[in-house]
Chains A and B, each alone.
Chain A
Amino acid sequence: MKTVLKYLQTYSFRAVVGMLIKFTAAICELLIPLLLERIIDVSVPEGDLAAIWRQSGLMMALAFGAVLCNITANRMAAWVSLEITRTLRGDVYRRIETLSCAQMDRFSQATLVSRLTNDTYNVHQMFDKIQRGGVRAPMLVLGGLTLSFLMEPILALIMLLICILTCLTIWFMTRRGIPYYTRAQESVDTVVRILRENASGVRVIRALGQQIHECDRFELSNVEACHQEQRAATTMAATNPLTEFLLSAGLTLVIIMGAYRVNAGLMPAGRVVAFLSYFSLIQTATIGIAKVFVKISKGVASAQRLEEILLLPSEQSTEQDTSTYTSEVGMQDVSFSYLGIEPNIENASFTLQKGEMLGIMGAIGSGKTTLVSLLLRLYEVNSGVVWIGGENVNSQDRRALNGRFGVVFQNSALLSGSIYENIAFLRDISREDALSAAKTAQAMEFISTLPDGMDHHVDIRGGNLSGGQKQRLNIARALAAKPEILVLDSADSALDYRTAAALYAAIRRDYPEITLIVITERVAPLRNADRILLLEDGRIAAQGSHKTLLQASPRYRRIVELQEGGAVL
């Protein structure tokens, strides 16, 4: 909670001023009935017309003051809580962007979405309610207490005691509510997850006729979310009646104590009545306070969920390694495991010169993508060295390192937006560069047939493009910034043979300097590769050019035969 409270600090001046204005408004509103009483009790019986007009006028003025102050205070409160939420949300987003891939793997996307949206909203509600409802009620309580102390300290002690007890109860209940709300938020994560899955998987779900199954699955999460929320809310709902009862018990105590004291002649009987009216004042005020604390309980639970992200340690650091390597790209005895159980890459070593082409082949799960991820330093190797541009990747700034690359991953996502925006992908890429990248990527072929060309709108997840079109847009995106190294991870799987061949030829023609790293299932593009790695269970089983491998690796030969015997269309 501390981290989130720091956000309040920045705006504390405004918040305090706002609350002072709210305070003024409350005073105005409290003075109105007092004036009213004065008119009825004093001025009217005296028949003092001038005083009546004067006091009524003053009442109007106070009412006007109250409305002005209230509106200003409410607006200031709204501003403060929104600014807090806005910066908090921005910071959480920023933190998510700097999470390492290993950290991202630990949080599901659904929970990140839910934290960014639902939890920030709950925190907003909390700050808003504190500012709006947190002035009048405590003021009434404190006012009531002060007045009673002035009047009759001994009886007031009872009141103080009860008030402290009430505060403790509220505090206790709020604390008790937090874990319930944490669980409730977790169940909201599930709701979010299923909704996202149903949006992205709509075709498969429909094709398998699983709508009813999905409705049932959602229903389960829906019931669970309602149940958790209900439990949390019901727990918190006890606060109000409990405090109410505590206060009324105090009230009876005051009467009994009062009776003894009056009986003993220690105080006049009238004071008991006055005391009772203060007590009821306090009673009504605490109801409002309890309401605020429900929001606090929920807000704190959400704030903790946000802090969990904000306080994650940053994992990647640069280390000093001044040794240089003679080749552009390479690995030396690299081993890596995602989970630390079984190695996903074992003793991998290879080198690649600038402008060369590396092909990576291997069965499913043999570690092709993992190998490339290590080149990009998306994960840290367990042992061995990886270098890019002749320097250890661990000693390079991550940004600078990634800036050397253009990458197409298997699941690279398209954004809803124009084709041009998708190629530029948030970078400052001119239309000309995007256009020439699209040409090389063989994407112009279909872009030119679209009515709006480069401004054609791409639906969410590229829903209105075919698989091959999506892949070519991703390749154009990777090429657009003219990278030193181009990584294509199965980027040709949905391309027909002719297009794929044209693509590789165009890359060589238009970007002769580029170092190419290609993961593919197809032999054809690898014929010209300077080096091919054949992976088996995380180990490099064989490496060399197409010709060398044909001779040296029976496995490679078999793959070629399978494909040549039945080439790819």
Chain B
Amino acid sequence: MKQKLPNRFLRFIKPQAVRFAWLLILVLLSNLLALLSPMLSGWAVDAIGKEAGGANFEKVFLYCGEMLTCYALSSLMNYWIAAQLIKLGQAVTHDLRKAAFDHLSRLPVSYFDRHPAGDVISRICYDVDTVNAALSTDLLQLLTSVFTVLGSAVYLLIISPRLSCVFVVTVPLSFFLTRFQMRRIHPLFRLRSKTLGQLNGFAEERMTCQRTIRIYGVEEKDQQQFDAINTEASRAYYKADCASATLGPSVNFINNSSLAAISAFGALMYLSGSLSLGSLSSFVLYSRKFSGPIREAANLLSELQAAATAAERIMDLLDEPAEEEDLPDAIAPEHLRGDIDFEHIDFRYTPEKPILTDFNAHIPAGSLTAVVGVTGAGKTTLVSLLLRFYTHQSGHILIDGRPISDYTRDGLRHRLALVMQDTWLLSGTIAENIAYGAENATREQIIQAAKDAHIHNFISSLPDGYDTVLTDNGEGLSKGQRQLLAIARCFLRDADIVILDEATSNVDTETEDAINQAMEHLREGRTCFVIAHRMATIRSAAQILVLENGRVAEQGTHEELLQYNGIYAAMHRESVGKS
């Protein structure tokens, strides 16, 4: 059962409670100050006198001076309050974004395969912004309105309890009407935020493949799809707006009709002698005071509703189940020998399709193990399990004799160095990208790593060299160049186990050969787990695992497997073109 929104949201408001209370008091004070000025202006007007020549200029100037001071003070105070409110709103905005991002970093990897980044962006930018707008402008106004209304209500009760009965009808009526409408509107607002998130998700995804769209000449279809989702989002937005457009005016309607009722009943009471004319007129005066803030507040309702929905979407994100926590006694290893055992591993991403079934393998410490097999055989899955991106359904993975769940995730990953098929670069300089994951690396070390990865010459040829800024996942670099950067990154990392998943698949043969020589140095004393197609890498492996149908079909050295004359031998024959 989900907690209700206010409870979940409270932890973000709490740190601001004191500041908020202060501001509330200040606002009340400034309202009082604002009441003082009309009084002073009244005195000033009195000092003018009724007849020509009767003005007491000394007093007029005095009161005018006081008035001006009063206004100046209240203006300063209002500015200060507004600035503080903005600060408060931004503080909450900051906390919300931070909490959302921190939570994202704890979500399982699979979350990002299923949830478009655009929707997450939508929550962290648009939804947080909506909440902020409500907090920094609307909420305080609403609260001060409540105070004014309550204050006036007390007066009204004192003047005429009987006439106040009108409010016994209208106030609950407005209350229930608002509640009823809010309930009706709520799902519309949810839909509005959701479709906006979808729109953002769509835009985000399609921005990444603009080039492909261009080349296939499908801009029109793409545009149509965008238009459709844009229209849908706009319609949802309009529907929510339409529904909430009734909120303010209908509360106002009740408010206005209560004024009419008061004047009618008040007049009747005056005529029957149960109310004096003076009381009636001051009653009406206060009722009007009452209605001003109500009108303002009613107009805020739809914005508050939007903010509540937005807050809900942020809270939903925060409620996404995080990755399983590390075991309480899990350790962060300082050093691993690098013995890896897969014991009876079963794994499937979706229930219907098993990837690994009863997979067994032993990778001795300090050795080079190569994994081969057709694409989709589950090679990369092995890496994902080893890094604990996913959890296997049954069996054990042991490193140095301990199940990997005995290590903390980060602790374990810090001892591994991984180069993947799809390299990822962050926006930043080339140097930052190479040093990513090795914060303390010096420029010399970075350059050495780049030299080992044979990317130094290319980097030096760029106008800004190592300070060249990369954007959009290294757009403009070839896949091979990106792979070399990832390899340089790996060289800088002091890891115990090196995992190369098709790390050089897009690198030309000569460069690969050179890298392999540099790698030999890297592999020394480390366990190496390599997924590759190329012979040069595979044949030097101490052990080759041939994966088929989710298990190890053949296992042994290059020579042994050739002799065995099974799948591997067949693959080898084909590859050298001697079939």
Contacts and interface: CB of A to CB of B under 8 A. Distances in A.
B4 interface: no
A410 interface: yes
A494 interface: yes
Interface string B29-57: 00000000110010011011111111101
Contacts of A117: 118, 121-122, 125-126, 196, 199-200, 203
Contacts of A196: 117, 121, 204
Interface stretch (A359-367, A433-441, A508-516): A359-367
Interface stretch (B151-159, B215-223, B307-315, B339-347): B215-223
Contacts of A25: 249
B571 A63 contact: no
Interface in A191-224: 191-193, 195-215, 218-219, 222-223
B478 A410 contact: yes
A320 interface: no
A255 to B, nearest CB: 5
A427 B75 contact: no
B199 A364 contact: no
B5 interface: no
Interface string A16-50: 00000000010001001101100111011101010
B227 to A, nearest CB: 5
Nearest to B37: A248
Contact of A273 (B45, B54, B200): B45
Given A36-B259, A39-B263, A244-B78, A269 B45 contact: yes
Contacts of A112: 207
A66 interface: yes
B509 A521 contact: yes
B534 A569 contact: yes
Contacts, number: 535
B360 interface: no
Given A364-B508, A426-B221, A52 B264 contact: yes
Nearest to A81: B241
Report whether over half of chain A's contact residues are helix, strand or loop; otherwise say mixed: helix
A226 B210 contact: no
Given A191-B97, A233-B136, A496 B375 contact: yes
Contact of A378 (B136, B214, B216, B257): B214
A563 interface: yes
A195 B41 contact: no
A89 to B, nearest CB: 6
B64 A207 contact: no
Given A60-B260, A118-B125, A255-B64, A222 B94 contact: yes
Contacts of A60: 257, 260
Report whether over half of chain B's contact residues are helix, strand or loop; otherwise say mixed: helix
Given A70-B248, A446-B376, A201 B424 contact: yes
Contacts of A364: 455, 458, 478, 480-481, 484, 507-508, 511
Contact of A74 (B78, B245, B539, B574): B245
A146 interface: no
Contacts of A121: 126, 196
A564 B94 contact: no
Contacts of B71: 244-245, 248-249, 251-252
Contacts of B505: 467, 493-494, 521
Contact of A113 (B203, B223, B410): B203
A308 B34 CA distance: 45
B351 to A, nearest CB: 9
Interface string B72-114: 1011101100110011001101100110011011100110111
B101 A569 contact: no
B479 A493 contact: yes
Contacts of B472: 108-110
Interface in A410-447: 410-413, 415-416, 425-427, 446
Interface stretch (B8-16, B277-285, B395-403, B443-451): B277-285
Contacts of B72: 245
Interface residues of B, number: 184
Nearest to A269: B50
Contacts of A191: 97, 124-125
A493 to B, nearest CB: 4
B228 to A, nearest CB: 10
A63 B260 contact: yes
B234 to A, nearest CB: 4
A82 B481 contact: no
Contacts of B560: none
B574 A339 contact: no
A403 interface: yes
Interface string B236-277: 011001100110111011001101110110111011000001
A317 interface: no
A40 B215 contact: no
Interface stretch (A150-158, A388-396, A456-464): A456-464
B325 interface: no
Nearest to B572: A569
Contacts of A70: 245, 248-249, 252
Contacts of B47: 259
A566 B506 contact: no
Interface string B544-579: 000000000000000000000000000110111100
Nearest to B106: A211
A425 B212 contact: yes
Contacts of B577: 524, 527, 564, 567
Contacts of B90: 226-227, 229-230, 233
A499 interface: yes
A524 B574 CA distance: 10
A240 B52 contact: no
A97 B220 CA distance: 9
A345 interface: no
B509 to A, nearest CB: 5
A513 B91 CA distance: 65
Interface string A544-569: 00000000000000110011111111
Contact of B502 (A242, A493, A566): A493
B436 interface: yes
A348 interface: no
Interface string B491-513: 00100000000100111111111
B209 A59 contact: no
A234 B422 contact: no
A204 B424 contact: yes
B113 A223 contact: no
A237 B86 contact: yes
Contacts of A82: 234, 237-238, 241
B215 A407 contact: yes
Contacts of B169: none
A78 interface: yes
Interface string B114-132: 1111101110111000000
Given A251-B41, A252-B67, A565-B536, 12 more contacts: A25-B249, A59-B257, A70-B248, A105-B475, A191-B97, A205-B424, A206-B409, A230-B86, A237-B82, A259-B60, A466-B375, A496-B571
17 contacts: A36-B288, A57-B260, A78-B238, A101-B211, A117-B125, A197-B424, A207-B387, A209-B409, A255-B44, A262-B48, A276-B45, A363-B508, A364-B511, A426-B221, A449-B353, A463-B110, A562-B509
List the 9 closest pairs (A to B, CB-CB), nearest first: A468-B375, A265-B52, A463-B113, A566-B535, A63-B256, A74-B245, A208-B437, A199-B117, A248-B71
